[in-house]
């Protein structure tokens, strides 16, 4: 994006001044999730946010990488503590709901192009514009906590050849995006979605909010792999547990709790 282009999504800088977040900023770090996990092992601090201008070893799920070029994306993590294993299920779903609303609220032009692919991909016209992960950890004193990590492609104008299905907000909007404002809007919305803490939010409500924002959970053919065997199924629901429910060609139903499902785009 040429530097002279307009910046959209402006918001007053003190929007989250009174909310229970502490933000630490880095010009460069290996991974904001790694940082908050390590810090949390000593003493998890609820509401601690780490944000970086660039990550040299940004992480995705299951040992995958998150490309985090300098100055282009929004890369941040949030510690939620204490929170036990239910958090690993509810947090990424809730984060997808809040991120969806953050993006639509900030950029109404995305109304018809934004979608959520189970479990955690934020799609813009079918391409991945943001990713969400949640890592569960225990402190040395046995306090369980979750580190929520979000990477949003904001101002990239191109992606490396091995990411043909990636896009950015700027590519979709035709204008550069203010990353600080986006972070503030997300945190403000996260706080209002979870006023008493995410642990008090019923999973059923989060699942229902997630379903209301995604077209992916119904009527989409997907491929999944189990014990090395690749099978296909038609998405038909999100279970109250957050699992993706598939209708199998054999007639049975299958719940997928984690891992990858690959969208088979052509009918
Ligand atoms: C995710 O994993 O989508 C979660 C990404 C979370 C990144 C944030 S950034 C701040 C915080 N600190 C971290 O270290 N991580 C978090 P997953 O569903 O596993 O997707 C990873 C896959 O997405 C990769 O294998 C690539 O195929 C693709 N990918 C990598 N970088 C991408 C990018 N910038 N845009 C779109 N796709 C990308």
- For residue 99 and ligand 1, the question of a CB distance below 6 A is answered with no
- Which residue has its alpha carbon closest to ligand 1 atom 11? 149
Candidate from 114-118, 224-228, 263-267 with smallest mean pLDDT? 263-267
Q: Hunting for tokens 């547990």 — which residue is that?
A: 241
Q: Is the CB of 131 under 6 A from ligand 1?
A: yes
Q: Considering only CA atoms, which residue is closest to atom 35 of ligand 1?
A: 166
Q: What is the pLDDT of residue 86?
A: 80
Q: Which residue puts its alpha carbon closest to atom 23 of ligand 1?
A: 66
The pLDDT of residue 151 is above 70: yes
Q: Is 167 in the pocket of ligand 1 (CB under 6 A)?
A: no
Average pLDDT over residues 120-125: 94
> Ligand 1 centre and the CA of 131: distance in Å?
5
Q: CA angle at residue 95 from 90 to 99, to 5 degrees?
A: 160
**Number of residues in the chain:** 267
Phi and psi (nearest 5°) for 240?
A: -55, -20
pLDDT-above-70 percentage for the chain: 93
DSSP state string for 19-37: SS-EEEEESSBS-HHHHHH
Atom of ligand 1 nearest to the CA of 30: 14
pLDDT in tens, 194-240: 988 898 899 999 999 999 999 999 999 999 988 788 889 999 999 98
CB of 155 sitting under 6 A from ligand 1: no
In this predicted structure, the answer to whether residue 94 has a pLDDT above a threshold of 50 is yes
Residue 58 CB less than 6 A away from ligand 1: yes
List, for residues 163-202, the tens digit of each pLDDT value: 999 999 999 999 999 999 999 999 999 999 998 889 889 9
77 lines ligand 1 (CB under 6 A): yes
Confidence of residue 1 (pLDDT cuts 50, 70, 90): very low
Rounded distance between C-alpha atoms, residue 244 and residue 144, angstroms: 25
Nearest-10 crossing angle of helices 203-213, 86-106 = 40
How far, in Å, CA of 103 to CA of 174, rounded?
15
Nearest to 216 by CA among 63, 93, 107, 134: 93
**Is the Cβ atom of 145 under 6 angstroms away from ligand 1?**
no
> Is 44 touching ligand 1 by the criterion CB < 6 Å?
no
For ligand 1, atom 25, which residue shows the shortest CA distance? Answer: 64
Please state, in angstroms and rounded to a whole number, the distance separating the CA atoms of residues 211 and 96.
11
pLDDT at 33 over 80: yes
**Per-chain mean pLDDT for the chain:** 91
Q: Which of 151, 157, 259 to mutate to test the pocket of ligand 1 (most atoms within 8 A of CB)?
A: 151
Ligand 1 binding pocket includes 118 (Cβ within 6 Å)? no
Ligand 1 centroid – CA 198 distance (Å):
23
120: left (phi over 0), alpha (psi -120 to 50) or beta: alpha
């Amino acid at each position: 994006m040429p530097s002279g282009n307009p910046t959209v999504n402006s918001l007053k800088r003190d929007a989250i001044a009174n909310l229970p977040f502490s933000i630490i900023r880095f010009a460069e770090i290996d991974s904001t999730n790694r940082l908050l996990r390590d810090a949390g092992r000593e003493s998890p601090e609820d509401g601690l946010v780490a944000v970086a201008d660039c990550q040299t070893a940004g992480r995705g799920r299951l040992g995958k990488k998150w490309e985090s070029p300098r100055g282009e994306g929004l890369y941040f993590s949030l510690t939620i503590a204490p929170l036990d294993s239910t958090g690993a299920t509810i947090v990424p779903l809730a984060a997808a709901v809040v991120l969806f609303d953050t993006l639509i609220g900030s950029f109404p032009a995305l109304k018809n192009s934004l979608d959520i692919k189970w479990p955690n991909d934020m799609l813009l016209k079918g391409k991945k514009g943001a990713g969400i992960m949640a890592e569960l950890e225990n402190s040395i004193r046995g306090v369980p906590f979750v580190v929520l990590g979000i990477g949003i492609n904001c101002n990239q104008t191109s992606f490396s050849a091995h990411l043909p299905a990636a896009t950015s907000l700027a590519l979709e909007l035709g204008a550069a995006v203010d990353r600080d404002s986006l972070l503030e809007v997300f945190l403000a919305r996260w706080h209002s979605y979870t006023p008493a803490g995410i642990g008090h939010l019923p999973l059923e409500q989060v699942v229902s909010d997630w379903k209301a924002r995604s077209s992916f959970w119904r009527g989409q053919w997907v491929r999944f792999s189990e014990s090395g065997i690749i099978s296909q199924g038609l998405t038909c629901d999100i279970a109250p547990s957050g699992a993706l429910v598939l209708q199998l060609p054999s007639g049975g139903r299958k719940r997928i709790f984690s891992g990858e499902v690959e969208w088979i785009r052509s009918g």
